[in-house]
A and B are shown apart, each in its own frame.
Chain A
Amino acid sequence: MRSLFQINIRTLFIAVLLIVASALAAKAQDPRLQMGGLDHLAAKASQTVDVNIDERLMKLAARLLSDKAEDEREVKKLVAGLKGIYVKSFEFDTVGQFVAADLEPIRTQLRGTGWTRMVNVTSKKEGNIEVYLQFAGENVNGLAVLVTDDKELTVVNIVGPIDLDKLAQLEGQFGVPELGIESSKSKGKKTNDQ
């Protein structure tokens, strides 16, 4: 017959396992990308931009922007519900300053749970653009944009309910660079090509 002590230990062990598993699952579903792995590129870049607008600041902006002034009202609607905007952008004077492996820390996260690459998204700008959305069921939890060119590397991460139209409107504001995003009519089409 098992002692009460043995039963308690087993229950405790299962509880700890459940907590760890749920924490790992939550981490895997986190729409916030960890972009610190790109920091070493700053030493070679002619221009580096690093933007951090967290949930508290987003809420504050949404609350403080006026409902009366038309331009502020539009922005207010735009940022309502967003939980963060994070941007890292590097421009280089010469080509070959970064390689595919430099982006691997970001791609590894985008291969994680929930992230889906949107196809049929292009940019007016030169270079390659990749747009990823993180879904939780039908809802979008976050967005990531990777822009790579010979001399440029930009990662934009927006946390919260966002779509491509909203993203296009955010360009040039809240630290989001001009991405020149264009999506075809079939923009809803998506692929799990990771």
Chain B
Amino acid sequence: MKKTATRIFIAAFVVLLTYVPAALAKGDDFNSVVKMIEEFYRVKHVGIPFLAKAGMKVATTAARIKGGEAKRIAEAGSIKLAVFENQDFNGDLTKFRASLNGALNNTWMPLIQTFSATSEEQTYIFLRDAGDKTNVLVVTIADRDATVVQVTLSQKNLALLLKDPEGAGKAITQEATLVDQE
């Protein structure tokens, strides 16, 4: 009887070990990416609760998609943002890229990745299915600053993102980081 209970416990534990990390990975990739940047480049992101509490709203003026008019891209309340300011991003770009792609490969689809080995600038846009909407993760590392932005897009705005991935990716980052001047 005791043996059976032990077996059931071990089986349950194994099942838990199998499923929990996968669930966590899907739910918390944003934090994982932020942590990965912190560990890889030995940097720290700036807390933004202050900005959020100060009434940061998405900027509508900066979010222009080529061929379209100024509009809000991200779904209201869906923005997750981490900012790294005035820090050194010295590290092997190809290794970082491989690590990032490896970490997100199972749950996210890479849409566009641009990087420069000479200036160390990097931009990554990943997509993830979220039912009738889509999660977009934009990682930008440039000079001494970096941002990680996760937003949810409606299908309509996803189509615009696909039409102009580079432009829309920049617009998403701008939208998340600019304080509305209105």
**Chain A residues at the B interface, C-beta cutoff of 8 Å:** 39, 42-54, 57-58, 60-61, 64-65, 71, 75, 93, 173-175
Contacts and interface: CB of A to CB of B under 8 A. Distances in A.
A154 B53 CA distance: 46
Given A42-B94, A52-B112, A173 B127 contact: no
Given A71-B67, A174-B162, A52 B110 contact: yes
Classify chain B: how many residues form its interface, as a range: 20 to 34
Contact of A49 (B112, B118, B163): B112
Ordered nearest first, which 9 A-B pairs have the shortest CB separation? A64-B159, A50-B113, A61-B162, A46-B118, A49-B114, A51-B112, A61-B159, A64-B155, A47-B116
A61 B163 CA distance: 8
Nearest to A50: B113
B108 to A, nearest CB: 11
20 contacts: A39-B94, A42-B97, A42-B117, A44-B117, A46-B116, A47-B114, A48-B113, A49-B112, A49-B113, A51-B111, A51-B112, A51-B165, A53-B162, A57-B111, A60-B162, A61-B158, A61-B162, A64-B155, A64-B159, A175-B165
Given A42-B94, A52-B111, A54-B109, A60 B159 contact: yes
A64 B156 contact: yes
Q: Which of B110, B115, B156 has the most CB of A within 10 A?
A: B115
Nearest to A85: B162
